[in-house]
Structure 1
Amino acid sequence: MTFLKLLGFIYSVAQVLMPCLPPVPLSSEVLSTDQYLGKWYYIGVASWKDEDIESYKSVDNSVVELKKGENNTLIMAGALHQEDQCINMAWTYHIHPDRDPVMTEGLAENLGVFLDGEWIKCPTCLIVAKFHHSNSFLRVMLFDRNEKTSDDLVKKFKSKMGCLFINRFLISPRTKDFCKLEGTE
């Protein structure tokens, strides 16, 4: 464990010296703490290609809850305000001890990685990257604990994504009320 802490420290120093380094993924052990479990507000999504995020165009806003599931899983339950409807969905992330922090999600075993918002200088943020290897696409979603989103936060997210040559974005307009998360409120 000391070796991992040393590597984490070295990476933190490298981030300061080279700000375009990608963030370090969060392990399932870290994600299972009060710092990450609970309610998150969706801010936006980024990708390399427009078609990878096309389905998010009709999402006005979303609120999700991250919770620990059974049998080595994390559950992300969400209420999406899409067009004029509230749609509740859930995604199950399976934790395989040998592959942690990379998790599988869904039947096609798409890959999911959770990243610390400190990468964009936002201690109240969470970044979720989904790699769908079956149809070769990537989505990077930004969430915040705060219901309100600042333009500065969106700029930081876009800037860091630009470091990774990710330049397609959809930012949630948030013109409607947030939907109720079923079973949590």
Structure 2
Amino acid sequence: MLGLYTHSEHFELVHHRVLTQAAVMFKEALSCFLYLSGLLQQAIDPCIYPELLPVKTVDRQQYLGKWYFKAAVSHTEADIQQFRALDNSWFTMEETANDTLQLTGHMRIGDACIKQTWTYHLQPERDDLELEGRPQRRNLLWSGKWANCPDCIVFQEVEPPLNETGTVDSLHRHMLYARHSDVKDELVTAFLKNAVCHNMQASVRPPQEKEFCA
């Protein structure tokens, strides 16, 4: 009985070691598989996707105040053509009433300063902002992830096709805004590169060669 017991004990020990080694090998194989899967996913879809900031749930207070316009991108040149005349611009976002935001822009075009105001409303059934006078336009807020910039936001404007049979949006552009006028160039470059990855080849950056308007 002693010999049989010893042999059984030895068998259990060997069996345990085999299972342990198998578990280690499985974990290593799984880790390798996940790593390769990640590389494959990046190769198939290397684009970075921004994080949507639903206006119904996001803390709006942290997005009030001053913002500097840094770049605009789109699938078509026509959607961003109006920004090419700008030397620089900055904006203030204020909450003027419950579920109402007012955006005031100070834009430098040549030697002239232009001031313009837009009013946005928050609707309970929408996750975007409704621009007063243009209810068909979607106005979405995204995090600064596209630019690797925590102090930035991306503002997207989308309008549907001009007719029911159309398949292309009549307006579709993204604008990058930063809390500071002197945001690092590499952050804006990252935004532009990620936009290209999403087939938005048209882009514009204000030169900021003149003083900002008061």
Q: Same fold (TM over 0.5)?
A: yes
Q: Report the equivalent of 2:192.
A: 158
Structure 1 SS opposite 2:72: strand
C-alpha contact 2:147 2:188 (8 A) present in aligned 1:
no
Letter in 2 for 1:39: K
Q: 2:151 aligns with which of 124, 128, 143?
A: 124
CA RMSD of aligned residues (A): 2.1
Identify the match of residue 105 of structure 1 among 111, 126, 131.
131
Partners of 1:74 and 1:127 lie apart in 2 by: 17
Moved over 3 A (4+): 16-19
Aligned length: 164
Asked if residue 169 in structure 1 is aligned to residue 203 in structure 2, the reply is yes
The answer on 1:30 being equivalent to 2:58 is yes
The residue aligned with 1:82 is 109
Give per-residue Cα distances to partners, 1:28-66, cap 9 Å, x unaligned: 242512x21110111011111111111111110001011
Which ranges of structure 2 fall in alignment gaps of 5 or more residues?
Answer: 1-37, 163-169
Go from structure 1 to structure 2 and tell me whether the alpha carbon gap of 1:106 and 1:118 turns closer, same or farther (over 3 Å shift).
Answer: same
Indicate if the aligned counterparts of 2:86 and 2:206 stay in contact, CA closer than 8 A: yes
Residues 94 and 172 of structure 1, relative CA distance in 2, 3 Å threshold: same
Q: What TM-score does the superposition give when structure 2 sets the normalisation length?
A: 0.70
TM normalised by structure 1 equals: 0.80
| Higher mean C-alpha displacement, 18-27 vs 56-65 | 18-27
Shift of 1:83: 2.1
Structure 1 unpaired stretches of 5+ = 1-13, 181-185
Contact 1:103 1:113 in 2 (8 A): yes
The letter for the 1-side match of 2:74 is S
Change beyond 3 A, Cα 1:65–1:19: farther
- The residue type equivalent to 2:66 in the other structure is K
> Higher helix fraction: Structure 1 or Structure 2?
2
Q: 2:30 maps to which residue? A: none
When Rg is computed on C-alpha atoms for both structures, the one with the higher figure is: 2
Q: CA deviation at 1:128?
A: 0.3
Query: Matches of 2:108 and 2:78 in 1, distance apart?
Result: 20
Distance 1:115 1:71 in 2: 22
Tell which deviates more after alignment, 41-50 or 17-26.
17-26
Residue 26 (structure 1) shift:
1.0
